[in-house]
Structure 1
Amino acid sequence: MPESTPLPAFLLLEPQYRDYVWGGQRLRPGEDFTAEAWVVYEHDHVKSGPCQGQTLAELASLYGPQLVGQSVFQKTGERFPLLIKLLDCAEWLSIQVHPNDEQAVEMEGPGYFGKTEAWHTLDADPGSRIIAGVQPGVKPDALQQAIRDGTIEGLAQYIPLQRGDTVFMRPGTLHALGPGLLIYEVQQTSDLTYRVYDWGRPASEKRKLHIEQSLAVTRHNAQAELTPLPELQDGKEQVLCTSAYFSLSMLSAEKRTVPLDTQAATFHALTVIDGKVRLLAGTESLELARFDTVLVPASTGSYQLQPLGSFRALKSSV
């Protein structure tokens, strides 16, 4: 596709699937166990249209600011700036921690990013919990000893989650997702994870513990920020969380069309979490169902989301 060819208004993405020991069967019912769907990832391919078969990384290299926006391009260059996943948690994930940008470069080398992330709870079985930080009053020495001894679960801060809750997680915060959760996760374009504790699972090459790295980046007073789902209004966008790296909002409608505009400043990543919706921009249109994900390039400008019955979708942007 030549560089002079305008980008289409909508890029429907083909997710990549990952399975780990904790995965369930809600992301691909009737298929194999699936832990994660990487619905926005720089190596995801475009599923249809004039860019079919190309990856986000290729399009970012080819189109740069037209795809991601000028200010975003100045920050991250040709690297696509976000990684978005859906996670189906049938068992506890490892207790882990992520570095910030400076620590990532210092510990892993040039080209690595830290990992600031947010979770939105798509579904939660009764009693579902996460770990986010450690209990109040835990001293740094006690925390470090527990990380070394493999007893960190006794000092962890357990927080119940309900459907609709959003959790914002800064680097340096110990955390883990628990059984029964279906999660939307948006993060910097980084999968840099330091595993602290893995619930007694056998150690393997793919599930190493990273004790020294964890000690270097864990902050004893780091806590998550939990926000319950606000009251939804027909045809309105409602912000769930914002940070220097991304913003996350909920779009919902039953009867009213939702107008949006990239203003040529940034892209929009839309994932439908309930119902169906039709996207409209000029003469272009695209219908989406549950878990479908589309990238709206910065060059698209104004567009609309037309409910087909009713829908809810999550929008991430930078």
Structure 2
Amino acid sequence: MAAASSSSPSPPTPQPSSVERTKGPTSLEKLVLREARGWSAEVHLYGGQVTSWKNDHGDELLFVSSKAIFKPPKAIRGGIPICFPQFGTQGNLEKHGFARNRLWVIDDNPPPLPVNTAIKTFADLILKPSEEDLKIWPHSEIRVEGLETLDYLDNLNEKERFTEQGDAIVFEAEVDKIYLDAPPKIAIIDHEKKRTYVLRKDGLPDTVVWNPWDKKSKNTQDLGDEEYKRMLCVEPAAVEKPITLKPGEEWKGRMELSAVPSSYCSGQLDPEKVLQD
């Protein structure tokens, strides 16, 4: 009498890690990520949505409906959708926001992975907002750090004195402020360009921060209507206490501006290094 035996299928032979750009049955572009041990994933550029995740035995670990519609503007039913900037109907936008109904792009200059990570196969996708998206929230890609908790004079409010409350200065409307007794080093962080401008100053105690925003730009003859999105004034100055010299006295004011690459840190650009240099 022969003894019956069974065994589980052997895992596939290890292959080099890879990322392949291809198209699905409906011509939607997707990325196929393969890991050396046999695991794989598929990410559609439409919605930035993970639509497949398989283990080293080829078992599918995610559910995607057999009736899923892979055709814009319909969201893909299943996988891992990105619900942003709202969940469900908890807001004024379409259900679950717009991120899952937009085409994402591959970041040509992705931030480096941590040196101690075991991940070797990855793709970095970016959702670039359209002009219509920007109308939903007019937040800028720029933030200024180093002026937190300082007193400032608000030129838009008859130079009334206030204290800065935020952990950084961001721009969502017109800004025209004079920060008093500002530190000698200020970081201007450009998230979009992954760049930090470092401003160092000496002999100029105050700092002016100005952006005209949309209405004032349209009323300024020598400024383009949309150019406020590409400019920001951060100016060392001596405003509160004007420099007064007696005969024979000297005064020196100096500003140094440098630009250094910045990388993402938990989703934010980290200026601490440049501020501490």
User: Into which bin does the TM-score normalised by the smaller protein fall?
Assistant: under 0.3
The structure where strand makes up a greater share of residues is: 1
Tell me the TM-score normalised to structure 2 length. Answer: 0.22
Greater fraction helix: 1
Instruction: Normalising by structure 1, report the TM-score.
Output: 0.20
